[in-house]
Amino acid sequence: MIEKLDDDFILAELGITPVWLQKNAIEKNEKAFLLLKLNFLKAKIIIFAEYNEDNAQEKKLFRNIAEYLNSLIDDAGKCESFSLEQIKNFIQQETPQYIFSFGGRFELGEMANVGSHNSAISLNDMIKDGETKKIFWHDVRSFLMQIKENN
């Protein structure tokens, strides 16, 4: 009796995968982040968010947020793109007093005397659903109020 083999099994054994499966298997190993460094009330602040490099809307939204935050202070910061490792190194070199990230929690290692604040709202969330922008701006406002209270 001859057993019928599944085509996927045969292709996998031969090391051959269809073109459409190869495209799905390709993943980026390194996440991309946008970072903004500010000085607000004499406090060093680093703000960063994960973004998809292929999505121009996310980058534009972050730049718009950065432009607004820069309008609140005298010393304007500059938006830059980094990997997570580069952000960790940057934070160790700069020793900020406050860190604000959006899109979830990120493991940045041990940092003494650093106030961190995380917003669960990501850039992509804000693009998909405008209502989440209200939550995000509430998070930003409470973060800035925390800085005002401490300085």
Does some domain include residue 27?
A: no
Does some domain include residue 122?
A: yes
Does some domain include residue 69?
A: yes
Amino acid at 150: N
Count up the domains in the chain and report the number.
Answer: 1
Give the list of residues 6+ apart from residue 72 with CB closer than 8 angstroms, or none. Answer: 40, 144
Does some domain include residue 94?
A: yes
- Report how far residue 133's alpha carbon sits from residue 136's, in angstroms, rounded to the nearest whole number: 5
Does some domain include residue 25?
A: no
Please state, as a whole number, how many other Cβ atoms lie within 10 Å of the Cβ of residue 97: 19
Amino acid at 9: F
- Report how far residue 61's alpha carbon sits from residue 4's, in angstroms, rounded to the nearest whole number: 54
Does some domain include residue 11?
A: no
Does some domain include residue 71?
A: yes
Give residue-wise pLDDT tens across range 48-80.
888 888 888 989 999 998 888 888 776 777 888
Does some domain include residue 3?
A: no
Residue 31 has pLDDT above 50, yes or no: yes
Full domain range(s) for residue 69: 32-150
User: Confidence class of residue 151 from pLDDT cuts 50, 70 and 90?
Assistant: confident
Mean pLDDT of the chain: 78
Amino acid at 83: S
In 3D, which of 112, 48, 107 has the Cα closest to residue 77?
48
pTM (2 d.p.): 0.71
